[in-house]
Amino acid sequence: MTTSELWSRAEADRYDSEESEMSSAAVLGPTLDFLAGLAGDGPALEFAIGTGRVGVPLRERGVPVAGVEYSEHMVAVLRRKADAETLPVVVGDMATATVPGEFTLVYLVYNTISNLLTQDEQVECFRNAARHLRPGGRFVIELGVPPLRLLPPGQVAVPFDVSAGHLGFDTFDLVEQILVSHHLTRDGEDGRYRRNASRHRYAWPAELDLMARLAGLTLEHRVSDWHGTPFTQDSAKHISVWRRPE
């Protein structure tokens, strides 16, 4: 049984509106360019495809896309945008679920590998990606770099958004490598706030490289964003590309 937390119907129904900025052309354009370039003429598989924020427009670019998604409610929202023949989705755990065929690209965006809360499950996710890849195919992950150096001694929380409609901060369990993202979101015009939280297992890029090696994949390159900006010690996130040998 996966440790991933399951999205509810209410969370799925409001996901697109709450993440509208992530669906903007400014964000999606470079993401789609990057992924389509790696997919080439072959098909792509998205783990944790969610409501299809990336998978649907990538399919519209001419890349055949399939998906794996743990929440049936998220798939139901995706189905409002694309039917099962256009974009097939297997409901299951991205660490173990299998999809028919082989792919030139398997990808995980927007920190979703951190939804797997144990190291073992994250390793199995890499192995599952490798099983689905053609020889020479690539596995891509977008993941934040843990902001632990922002923590002074004794502090366990870091704010990541302080705005009129949303307050967000992360708390850290440094022993278990678990962060909890806390959100206070203004809900409607009455001034009330809705509170929710989600758990994630953070991992350093070097730890992911070792997971890739265990799955028989090798690091091809790493950048700090979808534009291809070089990855440095000051990068807040990374886009990493591992390749299955020919």
Both 161 and 220 in one domain: the answer is no
Q: Are 165 and 185 in contact (CB under 8 A)?
A: yes
Least confident stretch, 5-14, 111-120, 156-165: 5-14
Q: Please tell me the predicted confidence (pLDDT) of residue 24.
A: 87
Residues 57 and 129 in one domain: yes
- Check whether 136 has a pLDDT greater than 90: yes
Same domain as 208, residue 93: yes
On whether both 127 and 154 belong to a single domain, the answer is no
Question: 1 falls in which pLDDT band (50, 70, 90)?
Answer: low
Q: Decide: 111 and 179 in contact? Cβ < 8 Å.
A: no
Number of domains into which the chain is organized: 2
Give alpha helix (H) positions in 113-233. Answer: 119-132, 205-214
Do 193 and 184 contact (CB within 8 A), yes or no? yes
pTM above 0.85, yes or no: yes
Beta-sheet strand order (sheet of 44-47)? 89-91, 65-69, 44-47, 103-108, 133-144, 237-243, 218-223
For residues 62 and 159, membership in a common domain is answered with no
For the chain, report the end-to-end CA distance as a whole number of angstroms.
33
Q: Are residues 40 and 113 in the same domain?
A: yes
Tell me the per-residue pLDDT of 35-49, one tens digit each, with 9 for 90 and over: 999 999 999 999 999
The band of 15, judged by pLDDT with boundaries at 50, 70 and 90, is: confident
Taking all residues of the chain, what is their mean pLDDT, rounded to a whole number? 93
CATH number assigned to the domain comprising residue 117: 3.40.50.150
Residue-wise pLDDT for 140-195, tens only, equals: 999 999 988 888 888 888 888 999 888 999 999 999 999 999 999 888 767 788 89
Domain residues for the domain of 187 are 148-198
In a domain, residue 59? The reply is: yes
Q: What is the pLDDT of residues 62-103, one digit of tens each?
A: 999 999 999 999 999 999 999 999 999 999 999 999 999 999
Same domain? 31 vs 117: yes
pLDDT of 20 > 80? The answer is: no
Q: Note whether 99 and 183 are same-domain residues.
A: no
